[in-house]
């Protein structure tokens, strides 16, 4: 049996702050309200909290949770690509941008974490392959920009 890893409440709060800014962890828009200007003016468009998957009772709950999680993922990707910019700044040689042993290590770690969490390992492996390749390309572009 796999056990899904959960972020601590403090980390969850930090992720929500990164994803929502000053909106806070509560009172997020329901998914059906996200395309409405001034969604907070519409009665019924605010959920009290984003529910965990096990607590969802309607598709509105599910969609609000997915939309909130997608914003959190984007915030995490923003931070990850910030590390790529840092690597571009720190690495002294363009040839160091591509590091195949490190790439293999990152993908292996992601696959192991996926297995432990009960998430499809093949999907994670494919996603991380693309993520790491995109990260290498991004880092290379920034390496070049910094040294023009």
pLDDT tens column, 51-83: 999 999 999 999 999 999 999 999 999 999 999
Other CB atoms within a 10 A radius of the CB of residue 117 amount to 14
Q: Which has the closest alpha carbon to 30: 43, 18, 19, 21?
A: 43
Q: Where are the domains of the chain?
A: 1-72, 91-148
The Cα–Cα gap between 141 and 114 comes to: 30
Nearest C-alpha neighbor of 132 from the set 99, 93, 86, 91? 99
**pLDDT-derived band at 17, boundaries 50, 70, 90:** low
Q: Is the CB of residue 22 less than 8 Å from the CB of residue 16?
A: no
Residue bearing the bigger pLDDT, 74 or 44? 74
Segment 126-145 mean pLDDT: 98
Q: What is the pLDDT of residues 111-131, one digit of tens each?
A: 999 999 999 999 999 999 999
Q: Residue 55 class from Cβ within 10 Å (0-12 exposed, 13-18 middle, 19+ buried)?
A: exposed
């Amino acid at each position: 049996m796999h056990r899904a890893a959960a972020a601590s409440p403090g980390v969850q709060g930090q992720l929500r702050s990164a994803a929502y800014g000053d909106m806070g962890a509560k009172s997020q828009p329901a998914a059906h309200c996200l395309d409405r200007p001034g969604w907070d003016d519409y009665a019924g468009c605010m959920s009290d909290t984003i529910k965990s998957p096990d607590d969802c009772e309607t598709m509105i709950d599910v969609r609000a949770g997915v939309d909130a999680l997608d914003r959190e993922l984007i915030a995490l990707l923003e931070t990850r690509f910030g590390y790529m910019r840092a690597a571009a700044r720190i690495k002294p040689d363009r040839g160091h941008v591509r590091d195949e042993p490190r790439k293999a290590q990152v993908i292996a770690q992601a696959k192991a974490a996926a297995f432990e969490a009960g998430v499809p390992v093949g999907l994670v492996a494919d996603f991380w392959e693309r993520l790491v390749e995109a990260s290498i390309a991004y880092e290379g572009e920034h390496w070049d920009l910094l040294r023009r």
